[in-house]
Chain A
Amino acid sequence: MNLKLTEEQEMLKSMAKDFLTAKYPKTVIKEIQAGEKGYSLGLWKEMAGLGWQGLVIPEKFGGNGMSFQDLSILLEEMGRFCVPGPFFATVLLGAYPVMDAGTEEQKQEYLTKIAAGKAVCTIALNEMDGQYTPGSIETKAIADKDDYIITGTKMFVPSANVADYILCVARTSDKPDGISVFVVDAASAGLTSTVLKTIDSEKLCEVSFKNVRVPKRNILGSLNGGWQLIEKTIERAAIAKCCDTAGGMQQVLEMTVQYAKDRKQFDQPIGKFQIIQHYCSNMAIDVDGLKFVTNQAAWLKSEGLPCAKEASIAKAWASEASDRVLALAHQIHGAIGVTIDHDLQYYTKRIKAAAATFGDAEFHREIVAQQMGL
């Protein structure tokens, strides 16, 4: 058992920290969030130059061939800096499904573009009910000669407004599990994205498919065999979200402890008051707990070992521990933490939004219950 990073991983982490410190101060994030796209094309290209979009993509497609655990380190740093934009969607919801289920032609087409920073990808999974079950999928894909025609409304699709490719999860048979995944060109006729106004300014979209024509060869994996791919994608994305949240929570803890040392009231730093100290201790325990269960799930996933239970343990914990940490952070920061100009609000909004994605605590508790044989 060993909780340390390798030398290469430490380097990746510190390089990421340097880049993000320089390029993603909160002033830049504020600008990006206020803009239409939700990301900076210039910075997106710089990331590609660092090999980030292609970090886990095999070298033969222009990627770095690194592991999911390596990616988890990068994701944690991005969470620490609240980096907005389509990186998460492109890699977790675009590249990975193609790597899992794509044909050689599909991998060549999409992974090469993703690694080069030339394609933004996402997945249109949720429907109106906002759940993560096959029974929720009502968007239909009907066969028409060499094509399929997709009709339906998808919700909460990250960065659909700027995506080049949208993986659409659609029903291709009446059987409950009759789901297929289609790689859809976002410029297709009949496809419209409407950006929703979200708590953390992430560009989640309503995506309407009105008779969108997709060639048969764009099915990812097998016809009617899509839900297995989606389950795997959700599990991996849930772990990845935990990494983002863990990075954010670590930053929140550090900000809060520093504030407690700096802020004076009643002639002393408020960090001298016992209750403030105990609040900080509680936060530290929650943050470390999250880091460990997240790292465990990410490591197991990276090693190709079964991790359904551990992934759900991490995500359930992330959803609830983060709530406690944010509540205490706000109490300790006092009024300044409730202004739009203070940095804390970036974390509050991002971490809270993350809690419901890829299964909330209740969803993951049920998976744990099943894994326990209940």
Chain B
Amino acid sequence: MDFRFTVEQEKFRKEVADFLKDEISKGLWKPSCDAWIQGQDPAFTKRIAERGWIGLSWPKELGGGGRSAVDRMIMTEEMLRYGAPAACHWFADRQIGNAIIHYGNEEQKKEWLPMIMRGEAYVGLGLSEPDAASDLASIKTKATETVDGYIIDGQKVWTSCAKYMNYIYLIVRTDPLVPKHKGCSEFFFSTKLPGVTLTPTIDITGGEAWCETFLDQVKVPKTSLIGEKNKGFYQVVNQLDYERAGLERLMGNYVLYDAIIQFTKETKRNGQPLCKEPSIRGKLAQLQIELEVGRLLTYRVALVIDEKRAPNLEASMAKVYSTAYEQHLATLAMEILGLYGSLMEDSKYAAIHGLAPASFLGSKGYSLQAGTSEILRNIIAQRGLGLPA
């Protein structure tokens, strides 16, 4: 056992942290919560790409960094710690690249991976539909094969990257006559194709991180099919593990965690800083304890990935735990702020930039997106503990 990182890993962590701190001091962006999903900044994505930090853990033969999943996790930990606006490339880097690497053909790898690594692809995830979310196999958006390609028609909801999206990953129905999960396929293509319309979804926080995607007889070439036709449902399972595997589930609101601690050090009540009050000390210590548990559960996922095993069980455990933690963080921050917890970011007298109410509202989605905690508990129980399906 060893709970430390190597000298090289610590050096890398410092390199990432120093870079981010430098950018903050130059005023290039401000640390924010959920910046990995709400913070779209194409210029930032380009600068990250220039440092070779997109595709960090992809094979060297394919132009990637060839580094471990643990190394990537170290990088993402710093990105989250400093609330960096990495949303444009996050999904491509986290899961779409891996989908292409596992199931794409040589041309697709040669064309798409470098594009993602150059920071030029802002990929949205087109999975959920109005009537098919947890029940992904019930998707209705269809792709009809033609002589030179497919015609895609239907609707997706909660597509990430929203208006910044220039490429979309889609899972659609290619055979309506076979059992549902045997007739789906994965596609990847430019959102600039005729027939693609994006309509922003305004979420409970007022943010526009997602959109609805309408596909109206969109003609896509054969080369946009990833892997095997009708094998999409089996292919996407692995991708979902990556989607659930990360520290963004635990540290998306690290900026709030930092800020509320600082707030209690700087704010006085009854002649002493809030952080001297026993109940507040207990609450903040509890957050630190819960954060550390989550951190180890999540690094464990990276270790499993580096052993070349699918982290189906481990990623599910980490996400269920982590999203509950972030909801707890938001709740405790609101408790500490009292009435000030109701003031939004642009209000006079807003406390800690209104991070607490924004996190509180946004956190309602964490235990739902990328696999609800209920679905994940099913996976843990059935795949992990062997309980009967």
Considering the chains assembled together, what is the distance between the CA atoms of A288 and B304 in angstroms? 14
The contact string, 1 if C-beta is below 8 Å from chain A, for chain B 315-332, is: 001001100000000000
With A1-B303, A317-B289, A366-B281 already in contact, the answer to whether A280 and B2 are too (CB < 8 A) is no
Considering the chains assembled together, what is the distance between the CA atoms of A299 and B1 in angstroms? 7
A236 CB to nearest B CB, Å: 17
Considering the chains assembled together, what is the distance between the CA atoms of A285 and B297 in angstroms? 9
Q: Which single member of B264, B300, B380, B388 contacts A281 (CB below 8 Å)?
A: B380
- Count: A-B pairs, CB below 8 Å: 129
User: Which of A77-85, A150-158, A267-275 forms contacts with chain B?
Assistant: A267-275
A2 CB to nearest B CB, Å: 5
Considering the chains assembled together, what is the distance between the CA atoms of A268 and B292 in angstroms? 39
Q: Quick check: B388 and A372 within 8 Å, CB to CB?
A: no
Give the interface centre of A289, A299, A310, A366 by most chain B CB atoms within 10 Å: A289
Contacts of A288 on B, CB cut-off 8 Å? 297, 300, 317
The contact string, 1 if C-beta is below 8 Å from chain A, for chain B 280-294, is: 011011101100111
Considering the chains assembled together, what is the distance between the CA atoms of A295 and B284 in angstroms? 23
Contacts of A191 on B, CB cut-off 8 Å? none
The contact string, 1 if C-beta is below 8 Å from chain A, for chain B 50-86, is: 0000000000000000000010000000000000000
Contacts of B382 on A, CB cut-off 8 Å? 277
Answer whether residue A23 sits at the interface, using C-beta atoms and an 8 A cutoff: no
Q: Quick check: A293 and B284 within 8 Å, CB to CB?
A: no
Q: Quick check: B70 and A1 within 8 Å, CB to CB?
A: yes
Answer whether residue B266 sits at the interface, using C-beta atoms and an 8 A cutoff: no
Answer whether residue A19 sits at the interface, using C-beta atoms and an 8 A cutoff: no
Answer whether residue A300 sits at the interface, using C-beta atoms and an 8 A cutoff: yes
Q: Quick check: A261 and B284 within 8 Å, CB to CB?
A: no
Residues 247 to 280 of chain A near chain B (Cβ within 8 Å): 257, 260-261, 268-269, 271-272, 274, 276-278, 280
Q: Quick check: B261 and A372 within 8 Å, CB to CB?
A: yes
With A1-B299, A368-B288, A374-B264 already in contact, the answer to whether A278 and B377 are too (CB < 8 A) is yes
Tell me the dominant secondary structure on chain B's binding face. Answer: helix
Considering the chains assembled together, what is the distance between the CA atoms of A271 and B277 in angstroms? 45
Q: Quick check: A285 and B380 within 8 Å, CB to CB?
A: yes
Q: Quick check: B303 and A374 within 8 Å, CB to CB?
A: no
Q: Quick check: B303 and A257 within 8 Å, CB to CB?
A: no
Answer whether residue B177 sits at the interface, using C-beta atoms and an 8 A cutoff: no
Contacts of B374 on A, CB cut-off 8 Å? 278
Considering the chains assembled together, what is the distance between the CA atoms of A278 and B377 in angstroms? 5
Q: Which single member of A4, A272, A369 contacts B285 (CB below 8 Å)?
A: A369
Considering the chains assembled together, what is the distance between the CA atoms of A274 and B382 in angstroms? 10
Chain B interface residue count, CB cutoff 8 Å, equals: 42
A244 CB to nearest B CB, Å: 18
Q: Quick check: B1 and A369 within 8 Å, CB to CB?
A: no
With A1-B70, A3-B300, A284-B385 already in contact, the answer to whether A365 and B281 are too (CB < 8 A) is yes
Answer whether residue A282 sits at the interface, using C-beta atoms and an 8 A cutoff: yes
Contacts of A69 on B, CB cut-off 8 Å? 1
Contacts of B293 on A, CB cut-off 8 Å? 289, 292-293, 313, 317
Q: Quick check: B1 and A2 within 8 Å, CB to CB?
A: yes
Answer whether residue B201 sits at the interface, using C-beta atoms and an 8 A cutoff: no
Contacts of B299 on A, CB cut-off 8 Å? 1
Q: Quick check: A299 and B3 within 8 Å, CB to CB?
A: yes
Q: Quick check: B292 and A281 within 8 Å, CB to CB?
A: no
Tell me the dominant secondary structure on chain A's binding face. Answer: helix
Considering the chains assembled together, what is the distance between the CA atoms of A268 and B387 in angstroms? 12
B301 CB to nearest A CB, Å: 11
Considering the chains assembled together, what is the distance between the CA atoms of A317 and B292 in angstroms? 10
Q: Quick check: B377 and A282 within 8 Å, CB to CB?
A: yes
Q: Quick check: B285 and A366 within 8 Å, CB to CB?
A: yes
Q: Quick check: A313 and B281 within 8 Å, CB to CB?
A: no
Considering the chains assembled together, what is the distance between the CA atoms of A257 and B385 in angstroms? 7
Contacts of B264 on A, CB cut-off 8 Å? 374
Considering the chains assembled together, what is the distance between the CA atoms of A281 and B218 in angstroms? 42
Answer whether residue B5 sits at the interface, using C-beta atoms and an 8 A cutoff: yes
Contacts of B385 on A, CB cut-off 8 Å? 257, 277, 280-281, 284
Answer whether residue B384 sits at the interface, using C-beta atoms and an 8 A cutoff: yes
> Nearest B residue to A373 by beta-carbon distance?
B265
Chain A interface residue count, CB cutoff 8 Å, equals: 41
Q: Quick check: A261 and B303 within 8 Å, CB to CB?
A: no
Answer whether residue B378 sits at the interface, using C-beta atoms and an 8 A cutoff: yes
Q: Quick check: A368 and B296 within 8 Å, CB to CB?
A: no
> Nearest A residue to B318 by beta-carbon distance?
A285
Answer whether residue B211 sits at the interface, using C-beta atoms and an 8 A cutoff: no
Answer whether residue B193 sits at the interface, using C-beta atoms and an 8 A cutoff: no
Considering the chains assembled together, what is the distance between the CA atoms of A313 and B4 in angstroms? 17
Answer whether residue B386 sits at the interface, using C-beta atoms and an 8 A cutoff: yes
Residues 354 to 389 of chain B near chain A (Cβ within 8 Å): 374, 376-378, 380-382, 384-389
Q: Quick check: A285 and B288 within 8 Å, CB to CB?
A: no
Q: Which single member of A284, A296, A299, A368 contacts B317 (CB below 8 Å)?
A: A284
Answer whether residue A237 sits at the interface, using C-beta atoms and an 8 A cutoff: no
Give the interface centre of B4, B292, B294 by most chain A CB atoms within 10 Å: B292
Answer whether residue A166 sits at the interface, using C-beta atoms and an 8 A cutoff: no
Answer whether residue A18 sits at the interface, using C-beta atoms and an 8 A cutoff: no
Considering the chains assembled together, what is the distance between the CA atoms of A139 and B282 in angstroms? 31
Q: Quick check: B285 and A269 within 8 Å, CB to CB?
A: no
Considering the chains assembled together, what is the distance between the CA atoms of A268 and B294 in angstroms? 35
Q: Quick check: A313 and B320 within 8 Å, CB to CB?
A: no
Residues 1 to 39 of chain B near chain A (Cβ within 8 Å): 1-5
Give the interface centre of B275, B297, B376, B388 by most chain A CB atoms within 10 Å: B388
> Nearest A residue to B6 by beta-carbon distance?
A1
Q: Quick check: A362 and B282 within 8 Å, CB to CB?
A: yes
Q: Quick check: A369 and B317 within 8 Å, CB to CB?
A: no
Q: Quick check: B378 and A274 within 8 Å, CB to CB?
A: yes
Q: Quick check: B288 and A292 within 8 Å, CB to CB?
A: no
Contacts of A316 on B, CB cut-off 8 Å? 285-286, 289
Residues 249 to 271 of chain B near chain A (Cβ within 8 Å): 261, 264-265
Which residues of A come within 8 Å of B, CB atoms? 1-5, 69, 257, 260-261, 268-269, 271-272, 274, 276-278, 280-282, 284-285, 288-289, 292-293, 295-296, 299-300, 310, 313, 316-317, 362, 365-366, 368-369, 372, 374
Per CB-CB distance, the 5 closest pairs between chain A and chain B, nearest first, are A277-B381, A292-B296, A281-B380, A281-B377, A365-B285
